[in-house]
Structure 1
């Protein structure tokens, strides 16, 4: 097992970033606590069937473990809040944000006051204007009787900024399904959601998740902040809705490697820790969906 001094290595690297003024954390974020939470999670994670369900800390390279922790901390995320999870691809450990994490990074970098999304059903009244190529003044009137997951026309996300400006992202259901078609859980010739799948059972929440991810990615990349946060935001953006996971991993799995000399670790046994579970069923469904996608590539995640 990789020794816990990996955490100390990452903490030292983060301190260097802070001393150079390249990295600033919000007042309520503790990188030390986030790394401790991550280390406890890592004790539980195992590889997939093809690697014999072995602990990832036995299989994955030391550099990839350190860099996955670094990606998490630079973005100011904490796995205990379901803001991301670790997945093994071969001998490389990666950190992937959940959409809760994507919203957290967007709020941190842009100062957004809120990020919300809603679903548009058949029969709803939606009106908006286009100004300089952007959606403005979006209004949505909905009748309770229109709510039916089999009659979704689309979804939209709303990002409210500190200066009371509002950013809208609007997607039709066809666009949402096109994003879903990039998922590892989507069949080659599949046109609609499979009955009983997460996309089918929680269609509204999955539609919201997709439009939020797109809104945050477009908005954060159009901001003026060229910090390490955005670099790592893009590096760990391996959402199955927007790109094939394998291609992203082959390009980015071990990018921005920490140049550290390690002594050969001696085996040590860590006690198993109980995993944290989200309280909300819909949030759990979204997390389960992301985990299933990862498992189809190699191994389980949290």
Structure 2
């Protein structure tokens, strides 16, 4: 079978199936897209991206469309569309763990979903340095009225003490997440790029070179996820928001089990993954570049999107 015929069959079993399900959801009134989001265009962009993504098979790299299961390809596409995201806008990436393909939101994607679900007007983050004056109140266990005064001379990536994110809903309503640098490093330690016994950023790594941007990214992810999951909204978009992260964690765990299948002892601790967009070990170099892109590009991107729908 020619490569073109094989791709056509895979497309029929994945993209076309997802497109038909999306159509059914829309006709049933379960799925609503804003005027500026086209699921057809998003899936076209995704299909083009998928033809470029590789997965490791033994000592070689093969196309994920040939290597990964059709169900995982279809589910990753559905998770993307339900959340109203588009990989062409750097809102997420397709990454393979073994034979499972996953769609992993970038923090731009997480911000977009949060704005769509909550109606937030803006999501902003800032880094706190040694010598900065930070004051806030605790009201019913929530941070309120955060004040941050900073001297220009304090700005030094080696002297970061923490970061915060404020989600602004307008009319004076906000949600604030505050993290110490120790908490941020603990989140970073869940990344497969972080060594087993590593306690600080590896010299020259993304987390070291772009420490401020990576700290902001981490606190934004934490704020958006915690706020969404603290709501009583059981909408389909929120279900898929969480399913995306769960699928990544499960695929990572299965890959680790497979890699350690011949070991006498396997130690896998269930932990919250604060940074989902991390590649398997064999793709670290590629994913570090993606992280740089996410950290440095379009820091002021504010494009709310809409979507919803059940999974396979």
- With the shorter chain as reference, the TM-score category is 0.7 to 0.9
**1:182-193 correspondence to structure 2 within 5 Å:** 182-193=190-201
Provide the rounded CA distance (Å) in 2 between the counterparts of 1:148 and 1:72: 37
**1:124-163 correspondence to structure 2 within 5 Å:** 124-163=132-171
Quickly say closer, same or farther: Cα 1:8–1:25, change in 2 above 3 A: same
**1:249-268 correspondence to structure 2 within 5 Å:** none
**1:209-224 correspondence to structure 2 within 5 Å:** 209-224=217-232
Quickly say closer, same or farther: Cα 1:50–1:248, change in 2 above 3 A: closer
TM-score w.r.t. the length of structure 1 is 0.80
Quickly say closer, same or farther: Cα 1:104–1:146, change in 2 above 3 A: same
Match of 1:63 among 57, 60, 71: 71
Provide the rounded CA distance (Å) in 1 between the counterparts of 2:72 and 2:88: 20
Q: Which residue of structure 1 aligns with residue 34 of structure 2?
A: 26
Q: Which residue of structure 2 aligns with residue 48 of structure 1?
A: 56
Provide the rounded CA distance (Å) in 2 between the counterparts of 1:180 and 1:239: 19
Q: Which residue of structure 2 aligns with residue 246 of structure 1?
A: 252
Deviations 1:104-160 (A, max 9, x none): 000010010000100000000000001011000001000110000000010000100
- What's the offset of the Cα at 1:190? 1.1
Match of 1:122 among 111, 115, 130: 130
SS in structure 2 of the partner of residue 54 of structure 1: strand
Quickly say closer, same or farther: Cα 1:178–1:138, change in 2 above 3 A: same
- What's the offset of the Cα at 1:224? 3.2
CA RMSD of aligned residues (A): 2.5
- What's the offset of the Cα at 1:163? 4.2
Segment drifting more, 59-68 vs 47-56: 47-56
Quickly say closer, same or farther: Cα 1:156–1:238, change in 2 above 3 A: farther
Quickly say closer, same or farther: Cα 1:186–1:55, change in 2 above 3 A: same
- What's the offset of the Cα at 1:162? 4.1
TM-score w.r.t. the length of structure 2 is 0.78
Structure 1: stretches of 5+ with no match in the other structure: 251-288
Paired residues of 1:23 and 1:227 also in contact (CA < 8 A) = no
Q: Which runs of 4+ in 1 moved over 4 A?
A: 297-302
Provide the rounded CA distance (Å) in 1 between the counterparts of 2:170 and 2:44: 32
Segment drifting more, 222-231 vs 210-219: 222-231
- What's the offset of the Cα at 1:297? 5.8
Paired residues of 2:97 and 2:280 also in contact (CA < 8 A) = no
Q: Which residue of structure 1 aligns with residue 281 of structure 2?
A: 296
How many residue pairs match? The answer is: 262
